[in-house]
Each structure stands twice: as structure tokens, then as C-alpha cells.
Amino acid sequence: MKFLHLFFLLAVAVSVSAVEPVAATRPLLSPLFGDHTVLQRDRPAVLWGWADPGAAVTVTLRGPNLPANATATAVAGTDGRWLTRLGPLPAGGPHVLEAAAGIRCSTSTDVLVGDVWLCSGQSNMEFTVSGAKDAAAEKAAANWPRIRQLAVGRVIAGEPQPQQALSSAKWVACTPGTVSNFTAVGYFFARQVHQDLQVPIGLVNSSYGGTRAECWVSPEALSPMPEFAAPVTRFQELVARCREQQARTGKDYDTLIREWYRANDPGSAGDPAPWADPEASTAADWRDVTLPAKLKEAKAVPPDFTGTIWLRRDFNLPAEAAGKGGMLNLIRVKDMNAAWINGKSVGDSESVNWFRKQRVPAGLLRAGRNTVAVRLVCLDGECGLTGKAEELALTPEGLPPAPLAGVWKLRLGTAFAAAPPAPVRYDRVPGITSLYNGMIAPLLPLTLTGILWYQGESNTDAAWQYRTLLPALIRDWRGRLEQGDLPFLVVQLPNHMGRGTRPEMSAWAEMREAQSLTARQVPNCGLAITIDIGEADNVHPLNKQDVGKRLALTAEAQVYRLPVAASGPRFRAQTVEGGAIRLAFDDAVGLKSADGKELVGFAIAGSDRKFKWATARLDGVAVVVSAPDVAAPLAVRYAWANNPACNLTNATGLPAAPFRTDDWPGGTSPK
């Protein structure tokens, strides 16, 4: 049964067919250089494509104010791939990019030369302008045709994908009609830099919500790290098993798993599924369970059970619902699941922890009694339907929701220990190395100005590990892009979750520390502080404007070397002065509180390592911290919490970076 367990716990990367070339004829010029492309200025820009092996290829950029080196040549290798470097080229355009190999030719129009930034990370980078604060006004004003985006589609892969895998990627110029789908952080960054530098900006958006940093690192970079060596090997073994499975059966995973359920799970055995049939009795072998709940916590399922679980509930609808469709909201479902309304399937999901909303087709709903059935795949103690009870409902079109919270019927299905191994797959859920394989490798070696990185929420359970993982990612990408210490700008995690009443250990604070250490220790790495613009109850804060602006300030100061003030106060050193600690800062000109009130967010501790809230006062360009019940202080922490109250700033108005002066054990740090 270890084989079956791996299927569920290691479901990562694309289906086997996705590793094949995406088109029978490979493009002469990579889609990365199609219409509306932005090419990197002031450095030789790498271009590539595919031709007949041994074919001579000529690439030319045509347009005003271009130098003589706007033409380059290459010879296609034995695999047909060619690569060349064009330029250096000055900022400008629009131009026309032409590639020719014998009778084959390719032309890209409206090509600009400017600065190209790779935008990557998880959902707060993927978050689009359509969801940002003041979205309607932002879209209406987004007339910036010299800002462009190329969105890399979500691709979870078992091995590095070839460069032609981006066949559907297209550059899009920014207009009020297109900006909705731009990465919000990237767009607001680009808008600021474009306005200040007056050069075109290209954004390559390769981001994927809910993903861990190790998904984005190559296996070669991860395998030498002891904690990742075994997971990388297991993933590669799973990929090999999936290929063997398809070669042996000649069937794709979706077909195989449907056959497995029909053969091994009694509730799934028929069409329609017998336990989803509204007329099937729930008198025997079914028990009551109140939902939403985690089923094992509710003692509705044996603590050691892994397998399928069936849930059913009857609910009533008014006469006006007859024949209508609607929306079934199962809130957050853990784990994989399928659903039926009145015996008819309304879809399934193999996401293991996802908010589950499913459209119900017209014609399924009835007046009076209706039945909803759900099959869960239970892997661990988290299985069940969880979330807000008021959201667990079915809503007929045009009618109020029918509540589904309350008593359901539950029946155990198939225990995995008693069943043959299920088919395996490695997609749906991004896993270790899979996004490097699918969403970074096809971009290499694209010429860039730098990289914007907004990620970390999914790694807060391993913040100490992130101290080495993020630098490993940076080294990996820089080495493969072959452009030296390419600028790498990190968004530090914002304030989030409830505000504590006492000084506390915090995984989010330790993650911010790991990000800050990376920015200080890795060459040409910058950090944008967002500790004051998060939201307590929203892991996707809507104020992406200030995030983009702060990244832009960081870039203008560190990358473009403009004389801009780009940082709030940064802790430098502490000095113990009797019963107080004096804190010195860099970027301390105009040190003050952001709201004009007394400073908050400081805690202090002595040799007992028990932190107490402290009084903090300004003394020129220093802050003096003390507490009446800490007579011999040793260390200070500032903004050290998930969602701290903090207000230290300087003349820029930018917030001070969270910090601590101790390195004592605690929290998630294995020190």
C-alpha cells in the first residue's frame, strides 16, 4: 500500500503526454519572441528557435535608430535548435524582428527594446490587476502600451521541459482591455519604473498560487541539500512509474482511475454511482456526522483509516428550483473528492486541500427533496469538509441558498489496505522541482534585467530551512540564466492573521527574517518591506499598488542606481545602557513614528529570555527601549509577530524592517 499512498501524497507534475513536444512542427522563432515582444536593452539579447539540422539562420531587427549589429546568425544543431545573440540594442521601437532559414521565415511585429523582468512566486505574484484595490479605476487608466506581459501557463512537469513548450505563450501590450490579467505586483512595479525611466518594460509572469519554493528549484540544485535529496528521488521514481503505467496499459490516468473506483469502491461501482442514488437506503452502515468538520476530529472515522468515505444529505428546494442549475459550495474539501446531485455526477477534484465550488447543470434540481453525495479520499486526520458553516450550501440560479450545514450521513467506502494499488499520477498539485521543470526551464536563457520574487507563505512551516533554500534558488536560476549576479528582488511577507496580545514566537516573523538575511547576504539582492500593508483576514491583501511601488523604489536604487530614497529604517546594532537598550539604524534620517504617536511594536528581554512589551523613545537617529520589569536587558525584538502593531519609519515614510537582536531558540528554528 506504500505504492498507493505515494499516489496521493506525491501527486505532482504534468501528465505523461505533456512531456512530448507541443506541436509537430517546432517554431523557427521561439514564441518568447513573437509579436509585441520586449527584448532586453543594452546587452546582447539571446534569441533561439528551431530549423532543419545544420541550417543557417539569420535574425534581423529592423526599425529606426538601430545599430549595425541588429543582425545575427546561427547554425541549427543536430536537434534543430539554434541560438544567437542580437545587439546590444538601445531602448526603443516599435521594430520588426525577422528570422530566416532557407525558405522558412518568421516575422514578429511591434517589437520593443527595453527592460525585461521575470515575475515569479506564488499567489500574491499571480494575483491579477482585476482583483486589486480600486481595480475599476486602475483598469480604466491602464493606457501603457509600452508595458507588456507574457504569461507562462501553469505547467507542472516531471522533467525540464524543452523551450518549444511555450507554444501558446503570447506577449500582450497593456491597455484598459488587457490589463485585468496582468500580475498586479508586476504591473504596478512596471508602471512606476516606466514612468520614471521612460523605457519599455516587459514582464514575464511565471507564477503559481499555493506553491512552495522547492517546487521552483532544479533537481540538481536541491539534491545536494540533505533534507531534499530523498524527496527529489521519490518524485523522479514516481515520474518513472507513471510512464511505465501508461506504456503498459495504453490508457491515460483519468481512464485508469475511473476503472479503479468502479472495480474497488462499492459506492462508485455503477453508473450512476449506487451510493449517490437518492433512492439508496442509508439505514444500514451509515452514521450521522455534523458538517462542516474534520471527520477524524469528530470521531466519525477511525483514527487510522485511509480510504474512501461517502457523505450524503437530503435537502429541500422550492417549486421554483425545478429544472434549474446552480452552484454547489462544499467550502474547503480535504482531500480529493467527487460530487453528485440527485445521482448525477457534477464533477470531481484531485486537489488535496481546495475551496470547492461546482456548477450544477440545468435540469438536475427538483422541487422538494434533493440529494447531494460526496466521495472523499481520506489520507490523514484532516479529511472532511471544513470552513464557514454558512457557506456550505447549494444555490439554485436566481434563488436563495439552500443550507447544507448540519447532520449528514457517512459511510466508509474502501480501505486502501484492502484494495489493489490505485493508478498513480504526478500532476494537479505542484511538487518538488516540478515548476522549475515546467515554468522556468523553458525560459532559459532569456536575457533579463532582473527577477521579482513574491513567495514564502507556503514555506512558513520551514522558515529556518528557507534561509538556505531561497539562496539556493537564486544561485540555481542565476547559473542557468548565465547573466552573472542578476538582480533578485524579494517581497517580504506582510502582516497577516490575528494580532496577539503578548510578545510571541511567529513562523511568519521567522520567514521575514529568512528573507531579510537572504537580501543582506546574497549579492545584488533587494528586499521590499510590506509589514504595514497586509490584511489580518486576507492572505491576498488588495493593496498591490504599494507593493509594486516599493519594489520599483528598490530597483531604482539598487539596479538603476538612481538617487532615490528606497528604504525605511534598517537595524544595525544595539548597545546595552544600564536598564535600556539603544538601537542604531541605517537609513535613519528623519526617524519617527508613522502615525505621530508613541512608538509601538518593541519587546525586550533579559537573561530569562521572556520578552515583555517595551517602551520605546526616539533619541535623534536612535531608539531607546526599556521595560520596568526587565532590569538587565539583553535583546530586543521589533514587529516580531504574525500581524504586529508597529509604526517606526523615517523621512521616506517607508516602514522599518522587522528584526530581532537575539538568536535564541524557539518557534520553528531548530537552533
Model pLDDT, residue 431: 87
**Angle formed by the axes of helices 507-521 and 463-481, nearest 10°:** 40
- pLDDT above 60 (res 19): no
Packed helices 226-249 and 253-264: angle between N→C axes, nearest 10 degrees:
80
Helix (H) or strand (E) holding 40: strand 38-40
pLDDT in tens, 166-218: 877 899 999 999 999 999 999 999 999 999 999 999 999 999 998 999 999 99
- The dihedral formed by the CA atoms of 433, 452, 538 and 650, expressed in degrees to the nearest 10: 140
The helices-and-strands tally (H runs, E runs) of the chain is 11, 35
Query: How much of the chain is in helix, strand and coil states, percent to nearest 5?
Result: 25, 30, 45
SS in 3 state form for 250-313? Answer: CCCHHHHHHHHHHHHCHHHCCCCCHHHCCCCCCCCCCEEEEECEECCCCCCCCCCCCEEEEEEE
Report strand pairing: 56-62 vs 92-101.
antiparallel
Residues 457 and 477: their CA atoms lie apart, in Å, by 21
Residue 174 burial class via C-beta count within 10 angstroms: exposed 0-12, middle 13-18, buried 19 and up: buried
Residue 24 has pLDDT above 50, yes or no: no
User: 21 by DSSP, 3-state: which?
Assistant: coil
**HEC readout, 488-556:** EEEECCCCECCCCCCCCCCHHHHHHHHHHHHHHHCCCEEEECCCCCCECCECCCCCHHHHHHHHHHHHH
Give the alpha-carbon dihedral of 219, 221, 223, 228, to 10 degrees.
-90
In whole angstroms, give the CA distance from residue 329 to residue 46.
48
Distance CA 485, CA 365 (A): 60
* 360 vs 253: CA distance, rounded Å: 25
CA separation for the pair 516, 491 (Å, rounded): 10
The more confidently predicted of residues 2 and 635 is 635
Q: In this structure, what is the dihedral angle of CA atoms 291, 497, 489, 159, given to the nearest 10 degrees?
A: -20
Residue 393: band (very low, low, confident or very high) from pLDDT cuts 50, 70, 90? very high
Q: Yes or no: is domain 266-418 CATH 2.30.60.10?
A: no
Integer CA distances (angstroms), 231 to 214, 234, 390, 440, 584, in order: 10, 5, 39, 20, 43
How far is Cα of residue 651 from the mean position of the Cα atoms in its chain? 33
Residue 109 main-chain phi, psi, to 5 deg: -105, 165
Q: Write out the three cell numbers for 186.
A: 508586476
Q: Taking a C-beta distance cutoff of 8 angstroms, is the pair 493, 530 a contact?
A: yes
Question: Is residue 607 helix, strand or coil?
Answer: coil
Per DSSP, what are the bridge partners of residue 114? Answer: 40
Per-chain mean pLDDT for the chain = 91
By the 8 A CB rule, do 192 and 472 touch? Answer: no
pLDDT of residue 164: 65
Phi-psi region of 403 (alpha: psi -120 to 50; beta: other; left: phi over 0): beta
Please check the confidence at residue 49 and state whether its pLDDT lies above 90: yes
534: Cα within 13 Å, side-chain hemisphere: 26
Instruction: State percent of the chain over pLDDT 90.
Output: 77
pLDDT bucket at 354, cuts 50 / 70 / 90: low
14-210+431-566 placed in CATH 1.10.520.10: no
What are the tens digits of pLDDT across the range 298-324? 888 888 888 899 999 999 999 999 999
Contact 191, 106 (CB under 8 A): no
Task: Kindly give, in sequence order, each residue whose CB lies less than 8 Å from that of residue 409, ignoring residues fewer than 6 positions away.
Answer: 282, 286, 287, 288, 289, 311, 312, 313
Q: How far apart are the first and last CA of the chain?
A: 36
Global model pTM greater than 0.75:
yes
Domain edges within the chain: 14-210+431-566, 266-418, 570-660
Domains 14-210+431-566 and 266-418 share a fold: no
Nearest-angstrom CA–CA distance, 191 and 555: 13
The 10s digit of each residue's pLDDT in 114-157 is 999 999 999 999 999 999 999 999 999 999 999 999 999 999 99
Question: Across the strands, what pairs with 151?
Answer: 205
pLDDT exceeds 50 at position 353: yes
DSSP state of 423: P
The average pLDDT across 500-522 equals 94
Please report the pLDDT score of residue 572 as a whole number: 94
Strand partners, 357: 329
> Up-side HSE of residue 671: CA atoms within 13 Å toward CB?
12
pLDDT at residue 670 is higher than 50: no
The whole-angstrom separation of Cα 56 and Cα 434 is 35
- Pairing type for strands 525-528 and 488-491 reads parallel
pLDDT of residue 11 exceeding 60, the answer is: no
DSSP 322-350: TT--EEEEEEEEES-EEEEETTEEEEEE-
Pair 116, 446: CB distance under 8 Å: yes
**Alpha carbons 254 and 246: distance in angstroms, whole number:** 11
Average pLDDT score over residue span 39-63: 96
DSSP code for 43: S
Residue % of the chain over a pLDDT of 70:
94
Whether 71 shows a pLDDT value over 60: the answer reads yes
